[in-house]
Structure 1
């Protein structure tokens, strides 16, 4: 399992590097190197923690993003996410380095972006500790005894994983120095919000107690906002 984790992480980072540096037209982009290193180290840290504390969840996290048990709409969503993510990286490489559409960001904003990436992965540890069913695809994990989770961060918001992802979406273009990348974030947030609503419909229909959980915990992403 650990070998698979390392292999998939390396392949994932290499693919991102090809898109970023290919679009930039140069390897001389320190921000992109730092971004990939930070993501790689933090992802391996989290994956190794899962390997020790919840190997079942790690297996789910390493599974393909297209699965037979998955809803059809979620398969299309994940395909769209993959395409949008790749296009997003290309735009940021063009913007920040090759074409320089954006003026250089101040150091404090770049540092804030790096902090956002760190907090995203760090917060995911608390999500995974509370929820052993936090798979990347929308499905009911009957074979693993899927049940409603209402402890940890789930006691305050219904989708803490998505809340963490928002930090990554904002932090990435700030760290890479791309205002154009940041301009795409609201559209991506709307997409995540749409998926959260559809996911809740599936869970309310198929998972015992989830409808009652939605009544107890009123907010999806941010307390007192939405």
Structure 2
């Protein structure tokens, strides 16, 4: 099946799953924050995916091949499972917060959350555009080379920067302060994933040790 068609089908299935994850815990369809979040996520993923499918279908294929079973390293299997659970818990709990009325966010803050979600997803897509080897799994492929320009000139793992921005934006977009608690385990999992990924890249990707010396920070400039 064509990569673009499979990507579209995957997006539709993901959208249906996201709807269930949002509206079942919320107990209502009258949840404008959830609808805005879905629309934002859809626009920020489908449109760039169409572009990547036309310009670099192999890169899109790599992004679609992910999940715990796709990982070859045990640490990565645990890390990606933890990341999925943190994300699912964040979304469902934020929706349940709406149902219980624990948080009362102003509309502008929810909109800001959507902006952060779009920015995080946009950064992730930009990484794929600038580095066609940016796969959903931790691996080194034949012919792969170090990318040190673009967003990679600022931090060594810009994809995960986008993930963190998105994680902060999701609870706000869904109108929940309490959902922000899930950012903590989400970031911890990313740190574990990054450390294990770099231990592999240093040994298996030519030029990566030099790149580490040139770009000092992994995730947040001047911090880590």
Fold in common (TM above 0.5): yes
Aligned residues: 222
Q: CA deviation at 1:67?
A: 4.9
Stretches of structure 1 that go unaligned for 5 or more consecutive residues are none
For the Cα contact (< 8 Å) 1:20–1:90, is it kept in 2? yes
The runs of at least 4 aligned residues of structure 1 exceeding 3 Å deviation read 66-69
Mapped to 2, the partners of 1:121 and 1:184 lie a distance apart of 18
Mapped to 1, the partners of 2:96 and 2:191 lie a distance apart of 28
Q: CA deviation at 1:69?
A: 6.1
Equivalent residues in 2 for 1:50-199, closer than 5 Å: 50-67=52-69, 70-96=72-98, 98-102=99-103, 104-142=104-142, 145-199=143-197
| TM-score scaled by length of structure 2 | 0.93
Q: CA deviation at 1:209?
A: 1.3
Tell whether 2:18 aligns with 1:26: no
Mapped to 2, the partners of 1:88 and 1:158 lie a distance apart of 26
Call closer, same or farther: CA 1:83–1:222 in 2, change over 3 Å: closer
Q: Greater CA deviation, 181-190 or 61-70?
A: 61-70
| TM-score scaled by length of structure 1 | 0.93
Which of 11, 14, 17 is equivalent to 1:15?
Answer: 17
Stretches of structure 2 that go unaligned for 5 or more consecutive residues are none
Q: CA deviation at 1:61?
A: 0.8
Mapped to 1, the partners of 2:105 and 2:37 lie a distance apart of 15
Mapped to 2, the partners of 1:120 and 1:60 lie a distance apart of 19
Q: Secondary structure at the match of 1:184?
A: helix
Mapped to 2, the partners of 1:84 and 1:13 lie a distance apart of 18
Mapped to 1, the partners of 2:107 and 2:90 lie a distance apart of 22
For the Cα contact (< 8 Å) 1:71–1:139, is it kept in 2? no
